[in-house]
Amino acid sequence: MVDQVDKVFLNEENLYKFDEEECQKLFDAKPWQKEDAYFQKVMLSTLAITKIVTHAVRAGDKEIAGYMIGFTKERTFYVVDAVEFPLVGTTSRVEIADQMGDKIHEYTSNISDSLKKVGRMQNYVGWYHSHPGFGCWLSGIDVSTQKTLQMVNKTFFALVVDPFRTLSSRKVEVGCFMTYNQENTSNRANFMESIPLNKAQEFGYHANKYYKLDHQFFESKFESHIIKLLYKNYWTETLSSNVIQLNNNYTKSLIEDMSSKIGGFELKKKSSSLSNFEQVDNHQKKLNELSSVNTQISINIQNELIKSIIFSNK
């Protein structure tokens, strides 16, 4: 899956070398005090994203969480590794605060100390958790958690991964976020069409409290060599696997959610108090959003059906 996205190669020596002096200059300058949304991009290593996605897929419909290891350089986070938290949440939340937070802090501190003993001097730069089947965004609890973590460490971001959408689209579905110091109504998150209807209200309520960072994947030459060897051995299994069967419940939920959204759209259309011109313009935009998502879902299902026919033994 990671192999299907654009990647860049970074020199191993520069990647794993911790430049304490450069990091200290950034902390001393504190550019985020002058510019609320200072950090703009996240670079995710193949190793880190593979660990994160595997962790999320393994937990199925239960939420999971962990920390990410790396460093910051100017406006960019570089993530080189990930550490799982020893916990599994429910289908709608994972708790990393209060008493559980103390246990996690002790657990991750021990891992960080062990890494530094073998020369891995990078620090924790963010936390990740999963949203099984309901997209990459921050809930109210997520916003509160990120605000707390960001108050302690200004160079700390949140990553959300959707394992069901990743399996369904065969593309890594992640989002990277940071909270504003102050709510910003002019910069509302703009990916409403991908949010399930039963989560739309919560999304809308908190959408102006955080912003999305661009992300890109990278790998070292050594990592690239290992991945090519793995794909050489397992590409036929990946090609012949049937995502509809593996992800059956999620595929059904997508269709049901789209049906509910279309039904809600028609109801709003009938009860709208806007002028005829405003109605046509507003309804057309909403219809285009629904159509775009529906088309992508249909293409994914169609591709899997074609594959199942090609690889069927019947």
Residue 255 lies in a domain: yes
What is the reported pLDDT for 41?
96
Band the pLDDT of 234: cuts 50, 70, 90. low
Structural domain count of the chain: 2
27/110 same-domain check: yes
38 pLDDT more than 90: yes
* Radius of gyration for the chain, computed over Cα atoms and rounded to the nearest angstrom: 21
Taking the CA atoms of 256, 158, 101 and 18 in sequence, report the sign of the dihedral they define: positive
178 pLDDT more than 80: yes
176/30 same-domain check: yes
Band the pLDDT of 193: cuts 50, 70, 90. very low
Domain boundary residue, one of 226, 253, 275: 226
Write out pLDDT tens, residues 208-226: 889 999 999 988 777 776 6
4 pLDDT more than 50: no
Band the pLDDT of 53: cuts 50, 70, 90. very high
Residue 86 lies in a domain: yes
Residue 170 lies in a domain: yes
Closest by CA to 168, choosing from 256, 249, 226, is 249
Domain boundary residue, one of 226, 256, 280: 226
Instruction: With beta carbons less than 8 A apart as the criterion, state whether 123 and 76 touch.
Output: no
281 pLDDT more than 70: no
169/215 same-domain check: yes
Please list, in sequence order, all residues whose beta carbon lies within 8 angstroms of the beta carbon of residue 298, skipping any fewer than 6 positions away. Answer: none
144/250 same-domain check: no
Beta strands at 174-179 and 123-130: parallel, antiparallel or unpaired: unpaired
Query: What average pLDDT is seen over the chain?
Result: 75
Residue 144 has, within 13 A of its CA and on its CB side, a CA count of: 9
43/129 same-domain check: yes
Domain boundary residue, one of 179, 201, 226: 226
Write out pLDDT tens, residues 152-171: 899 999 999 999 888 877 78
**Which of 51-65, 102-116, 174-188, 230-244 has maximum average pLDDT?**
51-65
Range of the structural domain that residue 126 is part of = 2-226
122/94 same-domain check: yes
Please list, in sequence order, all residues whose beta carbon lies within 8 angstroms of the beta carbon of residue 77, skipping any fewer than 6 positions away. Answer: 39, 41, 42, 43, 70, 71, 125, 126, 155, 157, 176, 213
50/159 same-domain check: yes
Residue 234 lies in a domain: no
267 pLDDT more than 60: no
What is the reported pLDDT for 99?
47
What is the reported pLDDT for 109?
83
1 pLDDT more than 50: no
CATH number of the domain that 82 lies in?
3.40.140.10
Residue type, 59: A
116/156 same-domain check: yes
162/292 same-domain check: no
148/258 same-domain check: no
118/158 same-domain check: yes
Residue 237 lies in a domain: no
Closest by CA to 59, choosing from 82, 83, 91, is 91
Residue 231 lies in a domain: no
Residues 56-80: what's their mean pLDDT? 91
Band the pLDDT of 269: cuts 50, 70, 90. low
DSSP the chain: -GGGS-EEE--HHHHH---HHHHHHHHHH-GGGT-TT---EEEEEHHHHHHHHHHHHHHTTS--EEEEEEEEETTEEEEEEEEE-S----SS----SHHHHHHHHHHHHHHHHHHHHTT---EEEEEEEE-TTS-S---HHHHHHHHHHHHH-SS-EEEEE-HHHHHHHTS--EEEEEE-SS--GGG----GGGS-GGGHHHHHHHTTSEEEEEEEEEE-HHHHHHHHHHHHHHHHHHHH--HHHHTHHHHHHHHHHHHHHHHHHHHHHHH--S-HHHHHHHHHHHHHHHHHHHHHHHHHHHHHHHHHHHT---
Residue 54 lies in a domain: yes
Residue 53 lies in a domain: yes
48 pLDDT more than 80: yes
34/135 same-domain check: yes
What is the reported pLDDT for 74?
86
Residue type, 288: N
The region, left, alpha or beta by phi > 0 then psi within -120 to 50, assigned to residue 74 is left
